Amino acid sequence: MTRKRLLATLAVVAMLVTAGCAGTIGSSNDASPEGDTSPAASAQQQQQQPAKSVSVSASGEVTADPDRAVLDIGVEASAGDAETVRQRLSENVSEMRAALEEIGITDDQIETSRYIIREDHESRRSEGPTRYIGTHSFQIEINDTDAVGTVIETAVNNGGTNVGQVSFTLSEETRDELREEALSNAMDNARSDAEVLAENADLTITGVTSASTGHVDVRPYYAEAQTAASGDASTSIESGPVSVSAQVQVTYNATDA
């Protein structure tokens, strides 16, 4: 019984040695013997060298004057019952929209952003009669940024009660143009960063392996409506530049310097 176990152990060892020899025979070193300087051997050795690359992330940004403005304007009403609130809201909104139409603001430039009628929280806590408050808010888009003050005055003088944030932004056409510029700047910055990294790693950039971009960000300029001093009833809105930024991820091929 002991003799059979010993023979079995020797057989396993022989199998392991044979397997090890088979793996060595298939290695790339034996296919290219040391000292072989033929062109074929040199090409094979170059192919076997690990590829080198430099990967970077970079951003680019451009700014421009806005060519579109978005206004938040609302109408409020209150009464002792919800139906009266609804009627007053409807009347004031109709008056406001008719006045805006007279100065060239069409229906497709006006969009409802919020509509609510609710019980007044203050009346709940008091012993007086219950009151209801209603709000109908709109977003109004205009392409003439110089007309923002006029639009606000027209709305407030004709049923509008609330003026919220005014955002200066870009039209789709301008946004697309600036997007291309931002991406171009980002690629230039990526190349510069990659060359600095490659130089410090004793490498030379040879080409682009891959390039991708993420979300392009448009940052509007936000302003608040300000009424001028007494004697001048105009509304003053100061606009500012809008920025467009883009990010890219680029991988470059590289070789030893």
At 152-209, the pLDDT tens digits run: 999 999 999 999 989 999 999 999 999 999 999 999 999 999 999 999 999 999 999 9
- Cα separation, 74 vs 95, whole angstroms: 13
- Residue 5 in this model has a pLDDT that exceeds 60: no
Where residue 227 falls among pLDDT bands split at 50, 70, 90? low
Radius of gyration over every alpha carbon of the chain, rounded to an integer in angstroms: 36
Neighbours of 153 (CB within 10 A): 19
What pLDDT shows up at residue 247? 96
Domain(s) labelled CATH 3.30.70.2970 in the chain stretch across 68-170
What pLDDT shows up at residue 121? 74
What pLDDT shows up at residue 188? 97
**Mean per-residue pLDDT of the chain:** 81
Q: Which fold has domain 53-64+173-256?
A: Translation Initiation Factor IF3 (3.30.110)
- Whole-structure pTM over 0.75, yes or no? no
Q: Which fold has domain 68-170?
A: Alpha-Beta Plaits (3.30.70)
Please give the share of the chain, as a percent, with pLDDT higher than 70. 75
- Residue 233 in this model has a pLDDT that exceeds 90: no
Q: Which residues pair with 235 in a beta bridge?
A: 227
Domain(s) labelled CATH 3.30.110.170 in the chain stretch across 53-64+173-256
What pLDDT shows up at residue 18? 29
Tell me the HSE value of 234 on the side-chain side, using a 13 A CA sphere.
9
201-206 own/partner pairs: CB under 8 Å, 24+ apart: 201/54, 201/254, 202/256, 202/257, 203/52, 203/54, 203/254, 203/255, 203/256, 203/257, 204/254, 204/255, 204/256, 204/257, 205/54, 205/252, 205/253, 205/254, 206/252, 206/253, 206/254, 206/255
Cα distances (Å, whole numbers) of residue 225 to 157, 185, 236 = 15, 35, 6
Higher pLDDT, 9 or 158: 158
- Residue 230 in this model has a pLDDT that exceeds 70: no
At 44-59, the pLDDT tens digits run: 555 555 589 999 999 9
